[in-house]
Structure 1
Amino acid sequence: MSREEAVRAMLVLMPRVAQRLKRTTVPEKLKTLNLAPRHLSLLSNLVFDGPALVNELAARLEVAPTTVSLMVADLNRQGVVERKPDPADRRRTIVSISDDPETREAINGWLSKGASSWERALDPLTPQERAMFVRTMGAYESGASCERDD
């Protein structure tokens, strides 16, 4: 496939992917929380990597710690995440998914749909091909975020 054919194919595919993501059903337990994609990224990190410090989450999400602090405060008020003092340093706070089984189940169910789709899509690729795909998607996102609609 030539570069031009690949670009054309991606220009056709990406709007369909975006529409599919917009139609992803938010679990009933989480519907009233007004969650945005940034919340999903934060929750994904907590589900897959476990509890973390705000600075660790900020580094993983590639955003400022203040942004993560605001999201955590919002999610904490709504009972989705919990903040606990770090036993090793009481000045730091560890963020985790709520211990409420219903909330945890709703989050896991919501994330599992996307995770299983990615697993099926990435499974036939070699580790090197997966790494290249992730880098390519990152480069696309970075390039798209630099472009302006004039």
Structure 2
Amino acid sequence: MSTAAREPAGMAVDEGIRHLLLLMPRVVGRAKKMRVPEELQSFSLAPRHLSLLANLVFEGPMTVNDLAARLEVAPTTVSLMVGDLSRQGVLERRSDEVDRRRTIVGIAAAHEKSVNAWLGSSARAWRKVLAPLTPEQRRLFVDTFRAYEDQLAAED
């Protein structure tokens, strides 16, 4: 029997850290290379705008409250971002057909194709790697990634 057959299927903590220390800079580097489409470069989009736009690409148009819940920020914060991007023509606001008191936010038709091409590749990549996992494995991955981000924030 080979030595590999007797070793546990998992990975030691230090080995995992070594792999991630090599992998994370590559992932960040690839994310930074996702060039903003030329027609959007004049809008001075910040990382918070990218998260908002990525959620609209992935989920489609939604209310400010739904966006706030997904972005884990206050609705007033999302309202400010939506107002800014609406004034610039990146987003459109419309009344909800079911409840006219609610406002639905979506990517403006003039920019929908370029925003989808730009940010959609990330969602497609996540779908491809997460789909084969069990729901429990996906939860573990997301929880671990969130805990990593929380730990980095705690050390700032």
Q: Pick the TM interval, shorter chain.
A: 0.7 to 0.9
List aligned pairs for 1:102-121, cutoff 5 A.
103-121=111-129
Q: Secondary structure at the match of 2:105?
A: strand
The structure with the largest alpha-carbon Rg is 2
Aligned equivalents of 2:127, 2:61: Cα separation in 1: 23
Question: How many residue pairs align between the two structures?
Answer: 146
One-letter code aligned to 1:147: E
CA distance in 1, matches of 2:117, 2:109: 15
**In structure 1, C-alpha distance between the alignment counterparts of 2:16 and 2:105, rounded to whole Å:** 41
CA deviation profile, 1:11-45 (whole Å, cap 9, x unmatched): 22212221221111111121221112221211122
Letter in 2 for 1:140: Y
Opposite residue 149 of structure 2, the aligned amino acid is E
Q: Secondary structure at the match of 2:103?
A: strand
Q: What secondary structure is seen at the aligned counterpart in 2 of 1:32?
A: helix
Extract unaligned runs of 5+ from structure 2. Answer: 1-10
Match of residue 142 from structure 1: 150
Q: Which amino acid aligns with 1:70?
A: L
| Secondary structure at 1:39 match in 2 | helix
Pick one of 69, 72, 75 that aligns with 1:65: 75
What's the TM-score, normalizing by structure 1? 0.86
Distance 1:122 1:87 in 2: 34
Computed over aligned residues only, the root mean square deviation of the Cα atoms, in angstroms, reads 1.8
Instruction: Name the SS for the 2:43 alignment partner.
Output: coil
Give the Cα–Cα distance (whole angstroms) in 2 for the partners of residues 89 and 118 of structure 1. 33
In structure 1, the residue matched to 2:91 is: 81
Unpaired segments ≥5 residues, structure 1:
none
* Distance in 1 between residues matched to 2:20 and 2:94, nearest whole Å: 44
Q: 1:107-132 CA deviation, whole Å, 9 max, x = no partner? A: 11012221232233334433321221
Alignment-derived partner of residue 34 in structure 1:
44
SS in 1 for 2:95: strand
Q: Which amino acid aligns with 1:113?
A: S
Secondary structure of 1:16's aligned partner: helix
Amino acid at match of 1:118: W
| Superposed structure 1 runs of 4+ greater than 4 Å apart | none
Moved more, 43-52 or 85-94: 85-94
